[in-house]
Structure 1
């Protein structure tokens, strides 16, 4: 039997994942609250569904690529007055699989698995990492945890979307825990990169020269190399917005707080992103956290 795949959320990551599934020849349906985006995607293959209920009824596997736990809850179960009203779970056939790709508190993911199991549905805790380009090329990373039954049904689907699919446990939670730890490092690295570049600017170092030296020295990180390029180009188009790290580092701190585990660097980075958000940079690229530093002149766009 050829599996029918549904993907919800055609944002930066979701659109790339949908492209990967289509390229691999899967029978694909998509849904996005921006109907015009779903329709435009379907022009090159696949089908756009008019509602979550329609997508759920037609698909054996539903992949959700929305922003956070609240949106995932609405995608699954709907809520009164919500833009995702009439959730997908109610129309999914027993034995179908829901793949949850958002960054959420691990306890939330565990609860989703339990609620879906009561409805006869399988669940994969599958947060993702790697950025839009890797999602589009099928080379991103998936951090997954699920029952053997769920893996048996969708192994090929996961492999079509990701270059690395890590199987971290036989029940929900482990995938989200690893993703949360990844986001701890990502957020701290971006904050540290911004601080270093800001100090260089304050000290009158040529930013392009500083970038060249650091990216060929021991102080480099993937986030410095990637995000400080945005600063040099004065391009704060949000590939991952400041508010994403307000959310994700908040989840990091919540997880640690539950066991009274100290995270001093995460706490500081979270405050930096909060400051950037409240200063008006919430929707800008997360590299805009550099804008909180006083007394520096940032690079401007070249004419």
Structure 2
């Protein structure tokens, strides 16, 4: 099967590398950054800078781009992949977007004779590299069957939520409510402990062995302890994703006060110039309010 991966970022690269290792797949990567292209070529794949330059007759496309606008452009824009796809090819859209955007893209794909799987993912860069992502998918039986070799290569678990496009996107938005709030409250706890005079390393060790621990605390707070702002997932991602939570909540008339507060913390960190940093550094918003020194800052 001739496969393309559009978006060779922190998760897209991991997924693409696992597809390269899967039997029976011929994989092309697409990313505008020369460094990302070079990394994928060095691993044994082929790479292009524009979706319009993907191999003709591509039978499956996995998208791991940032948002709905990028997905629409990569698929159906003037330099999009659609003209390069074989009839009946499957689009597996794994970016986080609003349910209505998933439905719109699915309708466009159907109008062009293409299959579509609404398939957002979770697991982070490490999960992507290990081929251990969780996929929250919706799509027709035909689309799921065509996408099965891709999903088997990148995921430890594929949840099929139904045939209707938008169900996967809805599940991912709900998931991101938890992820964003957990990161924000992890940063709050770490910042409070530092302000109150606790040793941050000891605080981390105690919390991760006790009932107050969370996956996000255990995964993200080491970045703060190490002073490592390299973005595995950036502050800007949760500005977007918690914004999607708010949009969904308004659409269904449901209050989400905790998500709204967490969203404002990420917006504050972005306003302070930290949008491109690792999302653990939402803690910079607390630092600006309280004057604390983070580990590695002396």
Instruction: Name the TM tier (shorter chain).
Output: over 0.9
User: Structure 2 residue aligned with 1:196, among 189, 194, 209?
Assistant: 189
Alignment of structure 1 residues 60-99 onto 2, 5 Å: 60-78=59-77, 85-99=78-92
Structure 1 residue 269: Cα displacement: 0.2
Instruction: Tell me whether 1:164 sits opposite 2:157 in the alignment.
Output: yes
**After the TM superposition, which of the residue ranges 66-75 and 43-52 deviates more from structure 2?**
43-52
- Whether the aligned pair in 2 keeps the contact of 1:56 and 1:89 (CA below 8 Å) is no
TM-score by length of 2: 0.95
Deviations 1:1-27 (A, max 9, x none): xx1111111100010001101111321
- What is the alpha-carbon distance in structure 2 between the residues aligned to residue 182 and residue 193 of structure 1? 17
Structure 1 residue 43: Cα displacement: 2.9
| Secondary structure at 1:146 match in 2 | coil
- What is the alpha-carbon distance in structure 2 between the residues aligned to residue 286 and residue 44 of structure 1? 28
Instruction: Tell me whether 1:274 sits opposite 2:267 in the alignment.
Output: yes
Which residue pairs with 1:81 in the alignment?
none
Instruction: Tell me whether 1:115 sits opposite 2:124 in the alignment.
Output: no
- What is the alpha-carbon distance in structure 2 between the residues aligned to residue 74 and residue 123 of structure 1? 16
Which residue pairs with 2:255 in the alignment?
262
- Whether the aligned pair in 2 keeps the contact of 1:235 and 1:301 (CA below 8 Å) is no
Q: Which runs of 5+ in 1 are unaligned?
A: 79-84
Which residue pairs with 1:82 in the alignment?
none
- Whether the aligned pair in 2 keeps the contact of 1:20 and 1:138 (CA below 8 Å) is yes
Instruction: Tell me whether 1:38 sits opposite 2:31 in the alignment.
Output: no
| Secondary structure at 1:143 match in 2 | strand
Matched residues, number:
294
- Whether the aligned pair in 2 keeps the contact of 1:52 and 1:87 (CA below 8 Å) is yes
TM-score by length of 1: 0.94
- What is the alpha-carbon distance in structure 2 between the residues aligned to residue 50 and residue 125 of structure 1? 24
Which residue pairs with 1:12 in the alignment?
10
Structure 1 residue 44: Cα displacement: 2.6
| Secondary structure at 1:218 match in 2 | coil
Instruction: Tell me whether 1:298 sits opposite 2:270 in the alignment.
Output: no
- What is the alpha-carbon distance in structure 1 between the residues aligned to residue 33 and residue 124 of structure 2? 21
- What is the alpha-carbon distance in structure 1 between the residues aligned to residue 49 and residue 279 of structure 2? 33
- Whether the aligned pair in 2 keeps the contact of 1:6 and 1:61 (CA below 8 Å) is yes
- Whether the aligned pair in 2 keeps the contact of 1:200 and 1:207 (CA below 8 Å) is yes
| Secondary structure at 2:79 match in 1 | coil
Deviations 1:164-208 (A, max 9, x none): 111111121111111111110000001111111111011101111
- Whether the aligned pair in 2 keeps the contact of 1:184 and 1:252 (CA below 8 Å) is yes
Q: Which runs of 5+ in 2 are unaligned?
A: none
Structure 1 residue 56: Cα displacement: 5.8
| Secondary structure at 1:163 match in 2 | strand
- What is the alpha-carbon distance in structure 2 between the residues aligned to residue 258 and residue 23 of structure 1? 42
Alignment of structure 1 residues 197-212 onto 2, 5 Å: 197-212=190-205
- What is the alpha-carbon distance in structure 2 between the residues aligned to residue 57 and residue 260 of structure 1? 45
After TM superposition, the runs of 4+ consecutive aligned structure 1 residues lying more than 6 A away are: none
Residues 267 and 56 of structure 1: CA distance in aligned 2, closer, same or farther (over 3 Å): farther
Deviations 1:260-303 (A, max 9, x none): 2100000000000000000111111111111112131211169x
- Whether the aligned pair in 2 keeps the contact of 1:236 and 1:284 (CA below 8 Å) is yes
Instruction: Tell me whether 1:228 sits opposite 2:221 in the alignment.
Output: yes
Structure 1 residue 36: Cα displacement: 4.2
Residues 291 and 18 of structure 1: CA distance in aligned 2, closer, same or farther (over 3 Å): same
Residues 139 and 262 of structure 1: CA distance in aligned 2, closer, same or farther (over 3 Å): same
